[in-house]
Structure 1
Amino acid sequence: MNRKLVHIVIIAMFFVSALHLMALHRTLYSIGLSYGLTGSEKGNLISAQMIGSILAALLGGRISDIWGRKKLALLGLSFSTLGTLMMSRTPAFEPLLAYQISIFCIFLVGSGMGIILSISNALMFDLHPQRRVFYVNLGHSCFAGGAIAGPFIANFLIQFSDWPLVYLVNGILTGTIFLCLLLSTFPKEEHILKTSVRVFKGTLKKQAVIWLSICIALYAGSQGGFTSWIVEYLSTNSLLTLSERGSGFFLSYFWIAVFIGRLNYGWIVERSSPFFVLLLSCLVGAGSILLLTKTAHPLSYLVFICLYGLSLSGMLGTLFSLIGQYFPHSSGTIAGMMMAISGAGGAILPNLIGRVTDVQGWGISAGIRFCALYLLAIAVIISLLALLEKNSPLFTRRNG
């Protein structure tokens, strides 16, 4: 096994998944102008990507435990490559047909993302069973790097042409990773068991796994809610004079903080305990959001947004790793389920924030505070788990 090449491919898969996600966010407005789409129709594109990602993560992770990681990773990369290349050609059709084809293309890209991220997480579990927290967070930092780079790459490409070029370049890049993966040798997978559905369901009855899964959904809501609404919050804040573009820079600062935090989060967990670091992250993150909604100085906004990004940075990877310890022989299935749960939380809970903003007298400031509420709920759950399960992995040092 060429271990170095496998790690490069895993890092590339994390990175390109973020590029696909950011591509839709950056080009959605332009796609709407090209095809004359309403807000609901543009929302359908976002839903198509999310639904594809959730379904593929659920199925792909489980199938990879039976057929092998490499085959499923190749399938995911082929879905994303085909979807992005097709998307780059949709302007050749009349608007209504182009929109309908775009729905399918984005669904295909989302399906590829779901498989790629599930396999990438599972491979980190397989390759580093003793240091899962550190290496999963390292992989997630590459996703954050893609989230930072994605908008800048898209802006650069659009200067030379239009939004289809973004999808064409992403398709070529994903296809290149496909070829590299095809030539690489993955770790032997004899240890992967074809766990029966009955035994697997019985294992899922573990109380800690259920509650940690809820924490993952809440985390997705706190991150997705923030990234979905912070630009509008800053743009419409009467105490600031920021344009939409200027507010967007603050979102980039958030992802930079996430990237830096993920590089160090696993190292900190190994030298303390998951419980302590997760609890501290929840409390600092919640405090940052509450202070953010009370401040009126641009520098204070920057400080609290970066602090929020650092707090959230490694929580998802740490929660993934904790659950993975309960299923050492079904890491693909678990990674897929966790990605699906994260996707569901990211789809439902940010939507709840939007509904809160519509309540008369509440507004977007109250909605943003729901991100703090989600984090405080995680703090309560892990504290209760710590009391109920004294031998929980939450207290284990160097649990990986």
Structure 2
Amino acid sequence: MKKLLWIGCLSYFLIGLAHVVLGSILPVALEYYGKDYSQGGTLIFAQFAGFLGGVLLSPWLNKRFGKRGGLLIAAALLFIAELSYMLLPPWGWMFVIAPAAGFGFGMIEAVIGTIIIAAIKDNTAVAMSRLEVLFGIGAMVMPLIASGLISAGYWRMSFLVVAVCAAMTFIFWAKSSFGELDSELSRRGSDQTPVHTHAAESPMGTPADIKPTRLTYHGRNLALLSLFVLFFFLYVGTEMSLANFMPAILIEKMNMKEAGAALSVTCFWIAMSVGRLFAGYIAEKFQYRVYVLYSCLAAVVLLMIFPFTNQIWSAFLIILLLGLALSGVFSIALVFASKMLPGTEESTPSILIASGGVGGAILPLVTGWSLDHLEVNQSAWMLAIFAVGLLIISVITYQWQNKHVVDTVT
């Protein structure tokens, strides 16, 4: 099981690299091709479209080729796409490569999440938090590598770094044995009729034994899934808005220089990575619903305080605390949703990751529009409103599970 987790961590490190490599070298790439930022934005959106396709198609590909086969396909596709990027083909071909790259790391993210949640029954939140730590490290390291390569005049080699990591991931998944899990990783189709319960976690955090029914999303389970879909849409959109526009907000709000404002993103991701080291343990000790609820409450309070900050040190303190507050929300909420909808481990993670991907594309567009057309503090308040939406949903799911725990006990 440890081998599975560490190879999963390598895979999430790869995802972190792949997520940010294009953005890291985008200015110099656009200069090389003679294109403007609107065309660069279109290229990034094309990669996002591929990411969404990879997430949504992963359950079907898993059934057809097995989870291991699906991961090998995704890693190979990402390897080929990153090498193709490095060759700097004609601009039109970049819109073929970008969706292929996005499809590759999108499918890897969805399949790894499915495997870990299904295979690791105890301390699942701890395992998912470890994956997210490696994702954050990859997202922090890649801009540093790209910066050095740009300074040396070898910026295209940034893609080679991701390609090499993809090749290593492919080899590990192809050659590694996981004992009794090998048959599950290679299994195609569904040999057993899946079941779906209306169970909630017991007070100790394990599913209550309630008579299972056939796996479908209907009735209150469909309503619960819809709540989590909206939650992930808002969460990833808020996180990406903070990561992409926090420097712009600080420049507009406090007249900071670009270099200093850019450090806010580094501060945010460092706090996220540090927080993820402990998020799983905290969530396992105090229950997933409690962790998600108080994390969202902290985010709301911090984002409501932020518009009133007038000093650089206080703004950076808020950003640091925001990173810590939000650090475990994605992974813990993903586990929480899967535990609330037992029997759906094959599909629920993919649906929620996909909804997060949509939010990560749409809400930053809304945030960017607000910075162009509204006052900077109004944009900051809009982020707080997104966080209020997260808090409302977390309260509903908290009460939902609490009701089912009470019903089970009685």
What TM-score results when the alignment is normalised by the length of structure 2?
Answer: 0.87
1:276 aligned partner: 290
Q: SS in structure 1 opposite 2:402?
A: coil
Q: Is the contact between residue 118 and residue 332 of structure 1 (CA under 8 Å) also seen in structure 2?
A: no
Distance 1:205 1:34 in 2: 51
Q: Is the contact between residue 14 and residue 138 of structure 2 (CA under 8 Å) also seen in structure 1?
A: yes
1:167 aligned partner: 159
2:12 aligned partner: 14
1:148 aligns with 2:140: yes
Cα distance per residue 1:315-368 (max 9 Å; x no partner) = 111111122124544423222211111101111122112222233xx3233223
Trace 1:336-355 onto structure 2 (pairs within 5 A): 336-355=350-369
Distance 2:32 2:282 in 1: 47
Q: Is the contact between residue 221 and residue 341 of structure 2 (CA under 8 Å) also seen in structure 1?
A: no
Change (3 A) 1:297 1:57: same
Q: Is the contact between residue 17 and residue 117 of structure 1 (CA under 8 Å) also seen in structure 2?
A: yes
1:103 aligned partner: 95
2:397 aligned partner: 385
Aligned to 1:325, which of 339, 344, 351? 339
Trace 1:223-234 onto structure 2 (pairs within 5 A): 223-234=239-250
1:219 aligned partner: 235
Q: CA deviation at 1:63?
A: 2.9
1:367 aligned partner: 379
Q: Say how many residue pairs are matched.
A: 383
Aligned to 1:177, which of 169, 186, 191? 169
Change (3 A) 1:69 1:391: farther
Query: AA paired with 1:118?
Result: A
1:118 aligned partner: 110
Runs of 5+ consecutive residues of structure 2 not aligned to the other structure: 196-213
Change (3 A) 1:305 1:17: same
Change (3 A) 1:53 1:21: same
Query: AA paired with 1:48?
Result: A
What TM-score results when the alignment is normalised by the length of structure 1?
Answer: 0.89
2:265 aligned partner: 251
Q: Is the contact between residue 272 and residue 326 of structure 2 (CA under 8 Å) also seen in structure 1?
A: yes
Distance 1:393 1:60 in 2: 33
Query: AA paired with 1:112?
Result: G
Q: CA deviation at 1:374?
A: 1.3
More contact order relative to length (CA 8 Å, sep ≥ 6): 1
Q: Is the contact between residue 324 and residue 331 of structure 1 (CA under 8 Å) also seen in structure 2?
A: yes
Q: CA deviation at 1:392?
A: 5.0
Change (3 A) 1:193 1:293: farther
Aligned to 1:31, which of 29, 32, 55? 29
Query: AA paired with 1:46?
Result: I
2:201 aligned partner: none
Q: SS in structure 1 opposite 2:305?
A: helix
Change (3 A) 1:40 1:195: farther
Aligned to 2:124, which of 109, 132, 139? 132
Aligned to 1:82, which of 80, 83, 102? 80
Q: SS in structure 2 opposite 1:139?
A: helix
Distance 1:393 1:39 in 2: 52
Query: AA paired with 2:126?
Result: F
Q: CA deviation at 1:193?
A: 4.6
Distance 1:154 1:332 in 2: 36
Distance 1:111 1:143 in 2: 17
Q: Is the contact between residue 129 and residue 276 of structure 2 (CA under 8 Å) also seen in structure 1?
A: yes
2:199 aligned partner: none
Runs of 5+ consecutive residues of structure 1 not aligned to the other structure: none
